[in-house]
Structure 1
Amino acid sequence: MRKQVITFLMLMVTVFTVNAQQTVSGVKVDSKLNLEGQNLVLNGAGTRVKMFMDMYVGALYLEKKSSNANEIINSKDAAAIKLNIVSGLITSDKMVSAINEGFENSTGKKTAPLKAKIDKFKGFFKEEIKKGDVFVIIYNPEDGVVVYKNGTKKGSIDGHDFKKALFGIWLCDKPADKGLKDEMLGK
């Protein structure tokens, strides 16, 4: 009996250790994210693919898991999206262009009320972007959206309206990548 208990405990330790991280397109994705005073869990992760090439690994972190995109977009709870750049083809200009398109799709082409916030957000991506860069975009209900690049805080943008439009880039009805949306939703 004692041997069975020890074997069971060893199996449980192995299961929890294996589940602590997953690998997506060669990127180790942590099961938890602790940033800006928020403790978030991995909801899902996947790869942004464009023209059959992997561009970045996107991971969605939430306070509690959900597969409902609209609830996540509209939620006032803390949430984060982590982008690990896996392609040398992503440049600052291409990222800004993708952000523009994403906001257009996310808002149904109604970006005018958010123009100043979108412009500020795009400014966080003006520096050179290279393979291996990591962006964390976290929504903290007290501070709004805070952006980090390679662990350095780039700035913040207040407003739940901006958070909704931003998270909609990946989770709206016309997302940047349908497959990535499903993977972020844990489907």
Structure 2
Amino acid sequence: MRTKNLVKTTLKLASSVALATCLMAAAVSSSHARDVNGVNMEESYVVDGQNLILNGAGVHVINRVNIFAIGYYLPKQKTTQAELLASPGPIRLKLVMIKAVESELMSRRFLADMRTSTSKDERIQLLSQLMALGQGFATVGDWKVGDVMSIEWNKSKGTSFYSNGKHIGEPLKDDLTMQAIMRIWVGDNSASPKLKRQLLGEKD
């Protein structure tokens, strides 16, 4: 009888410890994510074995409509455009859809923004990369609310694209592609000064 009671007590204690552990883990997870218009952006993320921190985050807006939340992840905090674009990597960009967007529209807008962020000579250099990006977008299908696109770059592997964790196409093995993508939101021709400041770490 005493043995049965001991077993029951032990099981109850183990259950309580497990519950407390889960609650603590949930609390830690919540405290290490930044809310961006209802989207949780992790404060840190590991890419190729290196811990990256959330440099800044904000919302991409078109015609006063929130399209997606975006965060820039870097090894160290950068507060100026020049420093951020000169980061040796690895670098991660995370985009989380706030509004559903058709695949064709998303592709056209993304490529148009890349053309705006590059010079004529750079666009000639990126011709094959832009074609590959267009083909990659076509395979993804329409973007739904909550869908996640990740763009990762490092010096040795180039630029990789992921849709909800699934690899899109092949890595683009150059440095200019990621530079052009980052400049969309933090470059000289950025359409949103507010978002640019947020990605450079300024908080509202």
TM range, smaller chain? 0.7 to 0.9
One-letter amino acid matched to 1:92: S
Partner of 1:81: 93
> Which of 156, 161, 174 is the equivalent residue of 2:189?
174
TM alignment of 1:142-157, pairs within 5 A: 142-154=156-168, 155-157=170-172
Taking the aligned partners of 2:97 and 2:182, their CA distance within structure 1 comes to: 18
Partner of 2:14: none
SS, match of residue 70 in structure 2 = strand
Matched, 1:96 2:110: no
One-letter amino acid matched to 1:76: P
Alpha-carbon shift at residue 163 of structure 1 (Å): 1.9
SS, match of residue 137 in structure 2 = coil
TM-score for both structures, normalised by structure 2:
0.77
Matched, 1:58 2:70: yes
> Which of 69, 79, 99 is the equivalent residue of 2:81?
69
Moved more, 111-120 or 177-186: 177-186
**Aligned CA-pair RMSD:** 1.9
Change (3 A) 1:186 1:134: same
Matched, 1:135 2:149: yes
| Equivalent pair of 1:66/1:72 in contact (CA under 8 Å) | yes
| Equivalent pair of 2:74/2:87 in contact (CA under 8 Å) | no
Taking the aligned partners of 1:102 and 1:183, their CA distance within structure 2 comes to: 19
Change (3 A) 1:49 1:84: same
Partner of 2:35: 23
Higher relative contact order structure (alpha carbons within 8 Å, sequence separation ≥ 6)? 1
TM-score for both structures, normalised by structure 1:
0.84
Change (3 A) 1:96 1:17: closer
More helix per residue = 2
Partner of 1:121: 133
One-letter amino acid matched to 1:178: P
In structure 1, list runs of 5 or more residues that go unmatched: 1-15
Taking the aligned partners of 1:142 and 1:38, their CA distance within structure 2 comes to: 14
Larger radius of gyration: 2
SS, match of residue 107 in structure 1 = coil
Q: Which deviations, in whole Å up to 9, do the C-alpha atoms of 1:33-64 show, x marking residues without a partner?
A: 11333321000110011111110000000000
Corresponding residue pairs, total: 172
Alpha-carbon shift at residue 98 of structure 1 (Å): 1.6
In structure 2, list runs of 5 or more residues that go unmatched: 1-27
Alpha-carbon shift at residue 160 of structure 1 (Å): 1.2
| Equivalent pair of 1:80/1:136 in contact (CA under 8 Å) | yes
Q: Which deviations, in whole Å up to 9, do the C-alpha atoms of 1:132-187 show, x marking residues without a partner?
A: 11000011221011111101111311111222112111211112433222111112
